[in-house]
Amino acid sequence: MFYYLGIEEIEPNHWVAHTFELPGCFSRGATQEEAIKNAPGQVAARLEWLARHGRPFSSDDGEIKIKVGEVFESWESTNDYRVNAFFEHDKGPLAADDVDLAGWLLGQSRQELLRICGPIPVEKLNQPDEKAASGSIAKTLAHIATAEWWYFDSLDLAFKRRTEDIPLDPFENLKTVRGHVMEQLPKLVGDTQVVDRSGELWSARKILRRTLWHEGDHITQIKSLIQAQ
């Protein structure tokens, strides 16, 4: 079957190809062409992973055909804010089954994140590492939680919090934000609103796409850091 890609330049020299039919499935590359080239392998791996975890993709016919659906190049709006993709696909309202799958996928990715990072000693979590996305693994975990909170805030679905209220323990921070996110998921079913924040458009489908991609992307990065130690 055909798998359609939404390709975006997240930041300069960092392209991501999202597979619309498989939430949470994406490929990366320094160029648009590289991200597209890497897509079939990621689709195959995702299909195998779904089947192995008891959630096989029902439309899979055993053939992977890649087609570019949409391309978006990021740009800077006010205050150096980089506007990322809002695809036509993001406009589509979510069905209950879509949200149910997203909730399950979020649970699976969080289990993997905790499995990887949970055993790491505190001193190593906080150890500065220039290759870490936010300067250390602990700060990367905090970044994951903050971004997740921010995505849902774009649709006014985040809880109110002050900087001093944010748990210092990165795992507690992740737990607090994710717990709230899971409570909000049912509200996304059938939501058709499109909201403009600093020039960037947001919808229910987009915040799930971004949340799944963001945690998955950082899981891959953290794995690389651990392997390099």
| SS3 per residue for 122-186 | HHHHCCCCCCCCCCCHHHHHHHHHHHHHHHHHCCCCCCCCCHHHCCCCHHHHHHHHHHHHHHHHH
CATH of the domain at 51: 3.30.160
Tens-place pLDDT, residues 120-159: 999 999 999 888 888 999 999 999 999 999 999 999 999 9
Q: Which of 85, 108, 142 is the last residue of a domain?
A: 85
Q: How confident is the model at residue 35 (pLDDT cuts 50, 70, 90)?
A: very high
Q: Which of 85, 113, 148 is the last residue of a domain?
A: 85
* Mean pLDDT value across residues 200-227: 96
Whether residue 162 is predicted with pLDDT greater than 80 in this model: the reply is no
Among 16, 7, 3, 60, smallest CA distance to 216 is for: 16
pLDDT at 133: 82
Angstrom distance (rounded) from CA 182 to CA 116: 22
**Percentage of residues in the chain with pLDDT exceeding 70?**
100
pLDDT at 168: 87
Element holding 5 (H helix, E strand): strand 2-11
pTM above 0.85, yes or no: yes
Q: Cα 120–123–129 angle (5° rounding)?
A: 90
Name the domain count of the chain.
Answer: 2
For residues 145 and 177, the answer to whether their CB atoms sit within 8 Å is: yes
Asked if 81 and 93 sit in the same domain, the reply is no
Asked if 136 and 68 sit in the same domain, the reply is no
Asked if 154 and 118 sit in the same domain, the reply is yes
Asked if 112 and 209 sit in the same domain, the reply is yes
Asked if 204 and 102 sit in the same domain, the reply is yes
pLDDT at 164: 73
Asked if 130 and 223 sit in the same domain, the reply is yes
Residue 38's domain comprises 1-85
DSSP 189: B
Asked if 78 and 92 sit in the same domain, the reply is no
Asked if 122 and 9 sit in the same domain, the reply is no
**Percentage of residues in the chain with pLDDT exceeding 90?**
84
Asked if 73 and 95 sit in the same domain, the reply is no
Asked if 161 and 179 sit in the same domain, the reply is yes
Which region among 47-51, 90-94, 162-166, 181-185 has the lowest average model confidence (pLDDT)?
A: 162-166
Asked if 221 and 128 sit in the same domain, the reply is yes
Asked if 206 and 156 sit in the same domain, the reply is yes
DSSP bridge partners of 2: 65
CATH of the domain at 109: 1.20.120.450
Angstrom distance (rounded) from CA 35 to CA 46: 16
